[in-house]
Amino acid sequence: MNFNTVKLVYFSPTGTTAKILNGIAEGFGANEIEQMDLTLPTADNLKPDGSKDEFVIFGVPVYEGRVSRTAIPRLRQLKADKTPAVVVVVYGNRDFEDALIELSDLTRELGFLPVAGGAFIGEHSFATANRQMANGRPDGQDIIAAKKFGSKIRAKLRTLGSIDEASIITLPGNTTYIDRDRSALADKSASTLDKDCTLCGECASICPVGAIIIEDTVKTDSQACILCNACVKNCSAGARVVDDPIVNKIANWVSKNFQARREPEIFI
């Protein structure tokens, strides 16, 4: 099987998942790379155009060892009939636990056939200059690994006469996906330092769940916020912060205990 077009389907609030997928697509060597970015709330109402995809690479960030909850209903709008696919999760150097197998199961349920999977590392959403958590990743080495993965996928597909010849890939993780109690985080959110805010509106325009409204000050719906940190990392005035004792305790624990560099893992 040979493909000229690859579609990238991703949810990526802070952009690391999108970077990895584009690296894989580059290594794959497609003539055309189509981007289906499901990060913004507009992706809640996709209108599939009915055309059939040839080959799709899915990517999501790992949240609490699972596929980001916000991404799931957005992905569920896609349907396929034995379309070859690759599943990729990106995590902040702690662990990806059951996220990769969960993404594989989900895409399979939608009619895709995963022929390869990968777990890559991206700067942790909660990383700051003072709290190192895979800061700056994916770096050059990660992008080289992503490109190599892309060329291996191309080579594997070339060996197949049809998708029916593809065997089911074995991925790490449990199918009784881990279910952490996140009730302590339910009403936590990013907030604004009003004295530094210029009311530019950037945070509201990039929030994946539409949790931010700009009025005379910036208002945040703390129940809706998923703590993705997109607003924090993209506020040029440095006016958005996640500064909560419980969140800080968890983030500091991760930072302290998961400093050893993890490397990308591929399953093909």
Per CB under 6 A, residues contacting ligand FMN are 12-17, 61-65, 90-95, 122-125, 227-229
Please give the structure tokens belonging to residue 144: 């080289």
CB of 206 to ligand SF4, least distance (A): 6
- Residue 227 as a binder of ligand SF4 (CB under 6 A): the answer is yes
The distance between the two most distant Cα atoms of the chain, rounded to a whole number of Å, is 62
Residue closer to ligand SF4 (CB basis): 143 or 203: 203
* Residues 24 and 88 sit within 8 Å (Cβ to Cβ): yes
Q: Among 163, 10, 15, which Cα is nearest to 80's? A: 163
Distance CA 176, CA 98 (A): 8
- DSSP state, 21? H
Relative to beta strand 112-121, strand 265-267 is: antiparallel
User: Which member of 78, 212, 251, 266 binds ligand SF4 (CB under 6 A)?
Assistant: 212
- DSSP state, 40? S
- Residue 241 as a binder of ligand SF4 (CB under 6 A): the answer is no
Residue closer to ligand SF4 (CB basis): 137 or 240: 240
- Any idea of the CA torsion for 36, 40, 44, 45, to the nearest 10 degrees? -70
HSE-up of 170 (CA within 13 Å, CB side)? 0
CB of 185 to ligand SF4, least distance (A): 11
14: partner contacted, choices ligand FMN, ligand SF4, none (Cβ within 5-8 A by kind):
ligand FMN
173: partner contacted, choices ligand SF4, ligand FMN, none (Cβ within 5-8 A by kind):
none
- Residue 56 as a binder of ligand SF4 (CB under 6 A): the answer is no
Residue closer to ligand SF4 (CB basis): 163 or 250: 250
Interface residues toward ligand SF4, by CB under 6 A: 13, 189-190, 192, 197-203, 207-209, 211-212, 214, 218, 220, 225-231, 235, 237, 239-240
